[in-house]
Amino acid sequence: MLDRARTDTQDPAIQYRQLAIEDINFPAHAFDVVISSLALHYVRDFPAVCRNVAACLGTGGDFVFSVEHPIYTADAAQDWCYGTTGERLHWIMDHYQEEGRRDTHFVGEEVVKYHRTVATYINGLLGAGFLIRQIQESQATAGMANGDSPHALDESRRPMFLLVAACTR
């Protein structure tokens, strides 16, 4: 994070801190913007994160983040339903309202994630005093259709990522 007190210098110092996201504890109004990329679905208590982020943002501060989409995290398999010849029939949607821990696999590793609904993301932000500015759901673009990535267009069959822009009042 970029400390506001340092932004007037030509070469502002960037501090790297190794700690749990839930444990951030910065001074009030310390930042103008908080950005998180594909991290918050590893955090169990999203409303707590919203409250902490709101506290360290000033008035009109921006909170912009991406997470794995609830459609993607609902079923722990996080996979397609395949036909007899291995074709992707459709995406498996199940357990949507069962929020909580998901033991998943990613590139050969076991990874713990936390599934929550779209409503929990949006209402968690609203409950911490944020205004919703825009949301987006990832999809394939025409340029993704090429031979190197035969399944690229499948990204439009279900969204993998949810992107949210919110701001403090």
Largest interatomic CA distance in the chain: 62
Q: Could you give the 3-state DSSP secondary structure of residue 112?
A: strand
Distance in Å, CB of 126 to its own copies, minimum: 6
- Take residue 148 and report the two structure tokens written for it: 């190197």
Cβ of residue 44: shortest distance to its own copies, in angstroms?
20
Closest distance between its own copies and the C-beta of residue 154, in Å? 10
Please give the Cα distance from 34 to 53 (Å, whole number).
7
Closest by Cα among 65, 64, 66, 61 to 31: 61
> Closest Cα to residue 72, out of 124, 116, 135, 110?
116
Smallest separation (angstroms) from its own copies to the CB of 114: 17
Nearer to its own copies, 31 or 99 (CB): 99
Which CA distances in Å does 101 have to 19, 22, 41, 123? 20, 16, 10, 19
Q: Closest CB to its own copies among 57 and 75?
A: 75
* Shorter beta-carbon distance to its own copies: residue 105 or 133: 133
List residues near its own copies by CB under 8 A.
71, 74-75, 81, 89-98, 117-119, 122-123, 126, 131-137, 139-140, 156-159
Min. distance of Cβ 140 from its own copies in angstroms?
Answer: 8
Report the candidate in 168, 164, 165, 166 with the shortest Cα–Cα distance to residue 67: 164
Cβ-based nearer residue to its own copies, 31 or 65: 65
Nearer to its own copies, 29 or 158 (CB): 158
